[in-house]
Every structure is written in C-alpha cells, then in structure tokens.
Amino acid sequence: MERKAMVHDKAAEGEVGHDLFMSAALDEARRAGEKEEVPVGAVVVCDGEILGRGHNLREGTGDPTSHAEIVAIREAAARRGGWRLTGATLYVTLEPCIMCVGAVLQARLSSLVFGCYDPKGGACGSLYDFSDDIRLNHSFTVYGGVRGSEAAELLTRFFARLRKGRDGTKSAPHGGDAVDVRSCGEDVGRGEFL
Ligand code: ZN
C-alpha cells in the first residue's frame, strides 16, 4: 500500500523522546490487555511531560467511545483546565480511527505519533487521512510506525488468544463473543499488517 511520507525524520524529531513516550503508551496497551480489552494505549505529552494517559476500556465500560486516545485526551484536557491542547502530542500504539482523529482535531493537538498501521480502520493515512485536509480548520503532523512491531505484536497475541478461545480450546475473554473483534486492530490480529 502506498502511504504518504508521514514517517519521519526521527533524528530531527527526537527519536529518544518518541521512544520514551511510546514506551509509556505501550505500557498502557499492556494494561488494557490485562483487563482483556483490545490492547491499545495512548499518552498525551506537552513540553516533555505526560498530561494524560489512557488505554482502551470499551468492554469494561460498555462505552463505545472509550478508546485509549479519548481517555488520554480527556485526562490531558482536565489537567490543563481546558479543551485546547495546542502544542501537545498524542502517542498511541495503533493508528487512530475516525473518531479518535476527530478528537485530535477538536483538541487542536499539534502532532500525533502512532505505532502500527491499521489499513482497515486507520484515519491518518491508511484508510483515510484527516491529519492534513485543507477543508478542515486544523491540521497536525503525523509520525507513523514508531515501535510499530511491538504494538502490533500485542494485538496479534490478543486476537490469537481470542480465536483460540472461540475454537473451544481455551476460555475466551468475556466468554468468547463479548469482545468485538471488528474493533481497531482486528486486522493486526489476523496478521494482515505483518
Ligand atoms: Zn479510536
């Protein structure tokens, strides 16, 4: 698949910083996995400080908007005391969906760093690209593929375990069908990215 040149002069952008904060996002993704949620994690960073953290909580909360990015953005806005997060960067382990890119635009975030691509749901270059649409009143810089293999591996393992449960060889999270595998990352689980 042809992708825009989103990625990256990592050296110029501070590879160490990207790595550090993506580590924090990966930690959040693991927390989601421990709760048998699809393992996606995110942090919002400004001036070298983590303002918000989040991981996917959709199953536990029953809230379809409880994606990692939304949780992290809400926490960051609460901490900053306002909705405008100009100057901040969102780090997330999986290319965001349409809803989450919408939240990035609404929050006026300045940049986005994501891990693995989501060719069937990603809205920052894979399926859509809302990061730099001149019809919108905001745009932001995107860096994709940062520690993408680690992020993808978390998803791959999660969905492999889910499928194994569905085959009846092992108990699946939430009794099998409760986790919607048509969620962000399904295709990572199928190995279609890899
Ligand atoms: Zn999302």
SS3 letters for 81-97?
CCCCCCCCEEEEEECCC
Expressed in angstroms and rounded, the spacing between residue 99 Cα and the centre of ligand 1 is: 5
Whether 76 and 51 have beta carbons less than 8 Å apart is answered as yes
Total-model pTM: 0.82
The tens-digit pLDDT sequence of the chain (194 residues) is: 444 434 444 443 455 689 999 999 999 999 999 999 999 999 999 999 999 999 999 999 999 999 999 999 999 999 999 999 999 999 999 999 999 999 999 999 999 999 999 999 999 999 999 998 999 999 999 999 999 999 999 999 999 998 988 776 544 444 333 333 334 444 444 343 32
Detail the DSSP E strand segments found in the chain.
41-46, 49-55, 89-94, 111-116, 141-143
Q: Give the CA angle between residues 151, 67, 32 to the nearest 5°.
A: 55
Expressed in angstroms and rounded, the spacing between residue 11 Cα and the centre of ligand 1 is: 28
Catalytic center residues: 69
Whether 142 and 126 have beta carbons less than 8 Å apart is answered as no
Expressed in angstroms and rounded, the spacing between residue 2 Cα and the centre of ligand 1 is: 22
What residue type is assigned to position 47 of the chain? Answer: D
Whether 98 and 123 have beta carbons less than 8 Å apart is answered as yes
Expressed in angstroms and rounded, the spacing between residue 122 Cα and the centre of ligand 1 is: 9
Burial class (CB in 10 A: 0-12, 13-18, 19+), 111: middle
Whether 152 and 29 have beta carbons less than 8 Å apart is answered as no
What is the predicted pLDDT for the residue at 164?
87
Q: What number of other Cβ atoms are within 10 A of residue 174's Cβ?
A: 15
Expressed in angstroms and rounded, the spacing between residue 56 Cα and the centre of ligand 1 is: 9
Contacts of 194 by beta carbon, 8 Å cutoff, 6+ apart: 152, 156, 188
Expressed in angstroms and rounded, the spacing between residue 97 Cα and the centre of ligand 1 is: 4
